[in-house]
Amino acid sequence: MLDQNNQSVALMVNGHQHRLELKPWVSLLDALRHTLDLTGTKKGCDHGQCGACTVLVDGKRVLSCLTLAVMKDGSEVTTIEGIGSPDSLHPVQKAFIEHDAFQCGYCTPGQICSAIGLLEEGKGETREEVQDLMSGNLCRCGANRGIINAIMAVKNETE
């Protein structure tokens, strides 16, 4: 039986169309993790302060813990599961490996999504600008230098 309090939400997630029946207060993060079982996107602080939940929505970086799923009805969402594959890594994923840009790996999905969004936005001309634009994605292990090195390497390759 359909719950009368649910709302229908259509999302294109990682190239696959989904129609979800969700409570209006369900975050995009919870819809991805609990309804679609896409657990690569991490729940860190649940307050939009750490960036672990960063995904791409219509090509833009979004903190999915602060975004209601119903607000993104009709949107295209890309999670870490939709970026590259084991046989064909995205250039940012390759650069993260080459520049040792992760330690525990918990923040890595959000860092990679944010880095791809930043590069697609064409922002961050200097190392300092990239560092500032990535400041909303925290790495508690201290891999920030490697993360910025990886982003700058990809940026320099595409110029």
Q: How many angstroms separate the first and last alpha carbons of the chain?
A: 54
CA angle 139, 157, 147 (to 5 degrees): 5
The reply to whether 141 and 100 lie within a common domain is yes
The reply to whether 11 and 78 lie within a common domain is yes
Question: Which range marks the domain in which residue 41 is found?
Answer: 7-82
Q: How many domains does the chain have?
A: 2
Task: Tell me the pLDDT tens digit for each residue of 74-131.
Answer: 999 999 999 999 999 999 999 999 999 999 999 999 999 999 999 999 989 999 999 9
Instruction: Name the average pLDDT for the chain.
Output: 95
Contact between 33 and 18 under an 8 Å Cβ cutoff? The reply is no
The reply to whether 14 and 68 lie within a common domain is yes
Could you say which of 27, 61, 82 is where a domain stops? Answer: 82
| 154: pLDDT strictly greater than 80 | yes
For the entire predicted model, the pTM comes to 0.94
| Residues contacting 141, CB < 8 A, separation 6+ | 102, 103, 104, 107
pLDDT at 2: 59
